[in-house]
Chains A and B, each alone.
Chain A
Amino acid sequence: MPCLAVLFIRTAMLSLLGGTLLGAFLLAGEPAIVLGFRPLHVELLLVGWGLQLAFGVAYWILPKHATRTPARGAALPIRLAWWLLNGGVWVAGLGLSFGTPPWWVGLGRLSELCAVILVASNAWPRIKPFGAGRPQAGEVA
Chain B
Amino acid sequence: MAALAIGVVMAVSSPGARAGLPATYVHLLVVGWLTQLIFGVAHWLFPRASAGAPHGNEALGWAGILLLNVGLLVRAVAEPSALSGARHGLLVTSGALQLVAVLLLVVHIWPRVKER
Contact = CB atoms under 8 A, between A and B. Distances in A.
A25 interface: yes
Interface in A9-60: 9-10, 13, 16-17, 20-21, 23-29, 45-46, 49-50, 53
A6 B113 contact: yes
* Contact residues on A (Cβ < 8 Å of other chain), bracket: 20 to 34
* Contact residues on B (Cβ < 8 Å of other chain), bracket: 20 to 34
A74 interface: no
A11 to B, nearest CB: 10
The secondary structure that dominates the B interface is: helix
A53 B37 CA distance: 12
B98 A16 contact: no
A27 B113 contact: no
Nearest to B106: A13
Contacts of B110: 10, 13
Contacts of A20: 98-99, 102
Interface of A: 1-3, 6, 9-10, 13, 16-17, 20-21, 23-29, 45-46, 49-50, 53, 61
